[in-house]
């Protein structure tokens, strides 16, 4: 009886897409928990400037482009099936590749993201599409203009893949992890026991600040660390306060309120 197998290249292409919608679905199910929300459900409906059906279509378009680029990248670099067998992967190697990929992706996205805010043409015609979601939610994480999706996410992902030297098999885990982190940053919830909030300072509250008008020139870092914001003076400190009526609110510290 012949067994059915799926190549690492195919899994590396499809897995992040499947993970995106599955993980988003979990947060959609939890979004009714007002006591953990950063904004009320009413604010989400009133403040956002784009319909949810448009967001879904935009995300699917970006994922289609990413899948096409991933297939092209795997084709150009060649199949790593033989390389995977020959190379002795250890936990140390895997950790090193993950760290390098995280640093590369963070660096690329910080500077591209910041430039899109400071260049008026790019912000008006490209990046402002993402900021139509003033109240972020999970499956809107990848709602971007196609050009932004290509430059920030797709090119950034390709660079992290190539520079880290990871194989297609390793990329399955890295890009699935990066996808989960990105969705988590946009989920609009502060859930107790969330490991991402314990490990990373760059989390849903941190990114929510950036989506508000007062924070649009701050907190550019994504998706992992806040290092570049802190080094280059674009970090906006905030406190997470309980909101009257339930839920939380990320409030900038006094010195930023006074600016």
First CA to last CA distance, the chain: 71
Which of 184, 232, 180 has the alpha carbon at shortest distance from 208? Answer: 184
Q: What percent of the chain has pLDDT over 90?
A: 79
Binned at pLDDT 50, 70 and 90, residue 108 comes out as very high
- Phi-psi group of 247: left, alpha or beta (phi > 0 → left; psi -120 to 50 → alpha; rest → beta): left
Burial 80-96 (b: 16+ CB within 10 A, else e): beeeeeeeeeeeeeeee
Q: Are 130 and 145 in contact (CB under 8 A)?
A: yes
Q: State the pLDDT at residue 65.
A: 92
Cis peptide before 143 (omega within 30 of 0): no
Interatomic CA distance for residues 139 and 21, integer angstroms: 7
Binned at pLDDT 50, 70 and 90, residue 1 comes out as very low
Q: Are 146 and 140 in contact (CB under 8 A)?
A: no
**Cα 6 to Cα 11, 62, 165, 169, distances in angstroms:** 7, 23, 22, 11
Q: Is pLDDT above 90 for 217?
A: yes
Q: State the pLDDT at residue 86.
A: 46
Q: What is the pLDDT of residues 165-181, one digit of tens each?
A: 998 889 999 999 999 99
Which of 252, 17, 249 has the alpha carbon at shortest distance from 135? Answer: 249
Interatomic CA distance for residues 117 and 120, integer angstroms: 7
Q: Are 109 and 223 in contact (CB under 8 A)?
A: yes
Q: What percent of the chain has pLDDT over 70?
A: 91
Binned at pLDDT 50, 70 and 90, residue 227 comes out as very high
Name the β-bridge partners of 250: 240
* Average pLDDT along the chain: 90
pTM: predicted TM-score of the whole model, two decimal places: 0.92
Average pLDDT over residues 131-142: 96
Which of 6, 2, 4 has the alpha carbon at shortest distance from 168? Answer: 6
Interatomic CA distance for residues 44 and 55, integer angstroms: 14
Q: What is the pLDDT of residues 60-106, one digit of tens each?
A: 999 999 999 999 888 888 655 555 544 556 889 999 999 999 999 99
């Amino acid at each position: 009886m012949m067994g059915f197998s799926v190549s690492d290249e195919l899994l590396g292409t499809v897995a992040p897409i499947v993970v995106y919608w599955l993980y988003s679905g979990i947060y959609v199910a939890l979004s009714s928990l007002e006591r953990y929300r950063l904004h009320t459900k009413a604010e989400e409906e009133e403040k956002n400037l784009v319909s949810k059906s448009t967001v879904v279509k935009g995300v699917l378009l970006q994922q289609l482009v990413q899948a096409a680029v991933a297939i092209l990248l795997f084709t150009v670099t060649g199949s790593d099936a033989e390389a995977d067998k020959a190379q002795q992967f250890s936990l140390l190697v895997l950790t090193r590749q993950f760290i390098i990929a995280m640093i590369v992706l963070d660096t690329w996205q910080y500077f591209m993201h910041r430039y899109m805010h400071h260049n008026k043409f790019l912000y008006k015609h490209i990046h402002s599409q993402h900021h139509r979601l003033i109240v972020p939610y999970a499956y809107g994480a990848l709602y971007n203009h196609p050009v932004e999706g290509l430059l920030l996410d797709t090119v950034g992902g390709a660079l992290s893949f190539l520079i880290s030297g990871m194989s297609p098999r390793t990329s399955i885990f890295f890009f699935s992890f990066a996808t989960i982190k990105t969705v988590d940053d946009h989920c609009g919830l502060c859930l107790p026991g969330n490991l991402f909030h314990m490990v990373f300072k760059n989390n849903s509250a941190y990114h929510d600040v950036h989506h508000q008008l007062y924070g649009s020139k701050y907190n550019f870092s994504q998706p992992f660390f806040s290092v570049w914001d802190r080094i280059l003076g674009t970090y906006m400190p905030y406190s997470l306060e309980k909101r009257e009526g339930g839920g939380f609110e990320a409030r900038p510290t006094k010195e930023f309120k006074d600016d």
